[in-house]
């Protein structure tokens, strides 16, 4: 393909390069051109697949969502044309939407706060001289490699009302069994349990990586100053890995706002079908039912998707500002 391959190979066959006839010269000139073309075009060729595929299946849908969100569009009636912000108004006036919003936030808070605290503790324990280090790390990461659908099924049984493992544990502690889908708090807790089971180990490893980057001598001088391990953890480790904590909070926010499969499988789970859905229907689930069940209201669903997207960006920004401010505070 390129001139250089050929030119470099030639002298090996001939003691001195033979004079070129016009045909060979033309060939060489063509190869020089090809070589330049190769240098110039290759980078674009190599990045092109990403941009072409992303444009069609990533960017276009994103813009299209915005367009669809301003149209009346259903499966049966088809595209009924431009309606402006009517879909957004309809969504904002919909009690089910706000209920789903409450559930999404509720589950997010109930899941994320303990998850990140627990991950911090796990990372702190893992950040020592340990035997079986790899095995322990693999152990806590294991839940993360399993599929949400499978997790949902197993936890559906763990949180079954009768014969469920969770209720069995409660009863062995002489507590009352809980109707896990019957109340808001119970269903939030059960779903938060699934989310945390899957993600705590992953976050712990991320914290561990950040902790290992902290210079040793900071701890040595803290010890000399008489700071206890607990104090060192809260006043040295945690502030120093704050950017990483911000990173995990943002990732958890994005994931939490889109929570779908866990509550869906929880709903289908043992003895749960349909009952108490209003207690734990998330926004993503509501978008799904609006868009892909019954009347296929694409316009409404798209409007909700955009609202959700703006919400995610809004929270990412708030997180960012909060942490930046507290970072500044600690520098002072």
Site for another protein, residues 231 to 290, rule: CB under 8 A: 244, 247, 254, 257-258, 260-261, 265, 268-270, 273, 284, 288
Count of positions on this chain that bind another protein (CB under 8 A) = 103
Site string for another protein, 188-227 (x = CB under 8 A): ---------x---xx--xx-xxx--x--x-----------
Q: Which is nearer to another protein, 184 or 289 (CB)?
A: 289
Q: Which is nearer to another protein, 226 or 329 (CB)?
A: 226
The secondary structure of 12-31 as a DSSP string is GT-SSPPPPPHHHHHHHHHH
Binding to another protein, residues 43-82 (CB under 8 A): 43-44, 46-47, 49-51, 53-54, 57-62, 64-65, 68
Contacting range for another protein; rule: CB under 8 A; set: 12-20, 85-93, 99-107, 306-314: 306-314
Helix 133-145 / helix 95-126 crossing angle, nearest 10 deg:
170
Closest distance of CB 147 from another protein, Å: 4
Closest distance of CB 25 from another protein, Å: 19
Around Cβ 122, how many Cβ atoms within 10 Å? 20
Binding to another protein, residues 7-26 (CB under 8 A): 7-9
Integer angstrom CA distances of residue 291 from 100, 276, 300, 332: 15, 21, 8, 51
Q: Which is nearer to another protein, 106 or 156 (CB)?
A: 156
Residues 6+ apart with CB under 8 A from 122: 140, 200, 201, 204, 207
Report the residue from 18, 24, 42, 228 that binds another protein according to the rule CB under 8 A: 42
What is the spatial distance between Cα 253 and Cα 309, in angstroms, rounded to a whole number? 11
Buried b (16+ CB within 10 A) or exposed e, 221-245: ebeeeebeeeebbeebbeebbeebb
Spatial CA neighbour of 249 closest among 118, 105, 112 = 112
Binding to another protein, residues 109-168 (CB under 8 A): 121-122, 125-131, 134, 136-143, 145-158, 163, 165, 168
Under the binding rule (CB under 8 A), the answer on residue 5 touching another protein is yes
Q: Which is nearer to another protein, 50 or 185 (CB)?
A: 50
71 bridge partner residues: 82
Q: Name the DSSP letter for residue 11.
A: G
What is the spatial distance between Cα 244 and Cα 249, in angstroms, rounded to a whole number? 9
The secondary structure of 208-246 as a DSSP string is HHHHHTS-HHHHHHHHHTT--HHHHIIIIIHHHTHHHHH
Closest distance of CB 156 from another protein, Å: 7
Under the binding rule (CB under 8 A), the answer on residue 317 touching another protein is no
Under the binding rule (CB under 8 A), the answer on residue 294 touching another protein is no
Closest distance of CB 182 from another protein, Å: 20
Closest distance of CB 261 from another protein, Å: 5
Token readout for 255 is 């994931």
């Amino acid at each position: 393909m390129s001139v250089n391959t050929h030119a470099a190979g030639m002298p090996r066959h001939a003691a001195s390069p033979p004079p070129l006839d016009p045909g060979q010269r033309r060939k060489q000139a063509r190869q020089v051109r090809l070589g330049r073309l190769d240098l110039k075009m290759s980078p674009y060729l190599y990045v092109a697949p990403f941009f072409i595929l992303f444009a069609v299946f990533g960017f276009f849908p994103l813009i299209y969502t915005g367009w669809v969100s301003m149209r009346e569009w259903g499966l049966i009636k088809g595209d009924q044309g431009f309606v402006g912000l009517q879909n957004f108004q309809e969504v904002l006036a919909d009690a089910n939407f706000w209920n789903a919003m409450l559930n999404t936030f509720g589950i997010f808070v109930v899941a994320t706060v303990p998850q990140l605290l627990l991950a911090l503790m796990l990372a702190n324990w893992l950040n020592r001289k340990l035997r079986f280090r790899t095995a322990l790390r693999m152990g806590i990461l294991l839940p993360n490699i399993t599929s949400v659908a499978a997790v949902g099924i197993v936890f559906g049984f763990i949180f079954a009302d009768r014969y469920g493992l969770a209720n069995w544990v409660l009863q062995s502690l002489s507590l009352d069994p809980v109707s896990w889908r019957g109340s808001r708090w119970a269903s939030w807790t059960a779903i938060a349990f699934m989310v945390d089971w899957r993600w705590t180990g992953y976050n712990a490893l991320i914290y561990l990586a950040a902790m290992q980057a902290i210079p040793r001598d900071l701890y040595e001088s803290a010890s000399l100053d008489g700071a206890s391990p607990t104090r060192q953890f809260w006043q040295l480790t945690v502030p120093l890995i704050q950017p990483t904590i911000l990173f995990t909070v943002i990732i958890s926010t994005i994931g939490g706002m889109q929570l779908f499969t866990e509550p869906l499988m929880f709903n289908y789970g043992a003895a749960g079908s349909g009952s108490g859905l209003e207690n734990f229907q998330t926004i993503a689930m509501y978008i799904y039912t609006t868009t892909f069940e019954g009347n296929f209201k694409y316009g409404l669903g798209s409007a909700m998707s955009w609202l959700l997207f703006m919400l995610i960006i809004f929270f990412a920004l708030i997180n960012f500002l909060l942490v930046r401010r507290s970072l500044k505070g600690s520098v002072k």
